[in-house]
Amino acid sequence: MKRLPGKVRRAIRARYYDIPPRAWVGKKGLEEGVIDEINTQLEKDGILKVEIRKGALISTGLDRKALAERVAELTDSELIEVRGKRFILFKPREGWEKYLRRLERKEASKEKREEKPVKKVRLDIAQFRRKFKKGRE
C-alpha cells in the first residue's frame, strides 16, 4: 500500500540511498525476531536499509521485491526502493496520520504562495527628471 506521493519518495530516496544496511534478513526468513529488530530500528531512526541474504530467498521462496514488500507490510512502513539485495524502508516516527497531515498542509501552503506576475509600471521620463531636478537645486 503506497501512502507517500512520488515526489516525497524521490526526495527520501535521493537523501538516504547511501546509508549502510543495519538489519539483515537471513536463512530463518521473516521470523518474529527479525521483524521486531526492523521495527525497533525504524522507531529509532525512521529510515532503515535492510539487506537480504541468499538464505532468505531460498527459505521463503519469494523474490527480492516480494520479500521487501512483505517486510514493509509486516512493519507498517513504506518501501522506498529495492536495489539489488538491499531495500530502504521509511516509517515516520510521529505516526502516519500526523506525518501525512503535515505533508498536506505543506502542499496547501505552497499553493497559496503561488507567485503572481509583477505589474509593469510605465515610467514617464520627463516627470521623473522634473521630480529629481528639484531635489538637486
Query: Residue 134 is part of a domain; what is its CATH number?
Result: 3.30.110.60
The DSSP H or E segment spanning 95 is none
Cα separations in angstroms, 63 against 26, 86, 98, 124: 14, 12, 33, 73
* Count: domains in the chain: 1
Residue 23's Cβ-side half-sphere holds a number of Cα atoms within 13 Å equal to: 24
% of the chain beyond a pLDDT of 90: 63
- Rounded Cα distance, 95 and 52, in Å: 26
Evaluate if pTM is beyond 0.85.
no
pLDDT at 127: 77
Low pLDDT (below 70) residues in the chain? 1, 114-115, 134-137
Q: Which residues contact 23 (CB under 8 A, 6 or more apart)?
A: 34, 37, 38, 41, 48, 49, 50, 51
pLDDT at 129: 77
The distance of Cα 64 from the centroid of its chain, to the nearest Å, equals 21
Q: Residue 108: count other Cβ atoms within 10 Å of its Cβ.
A: 10
Domain coverage including residue 47? 1-137
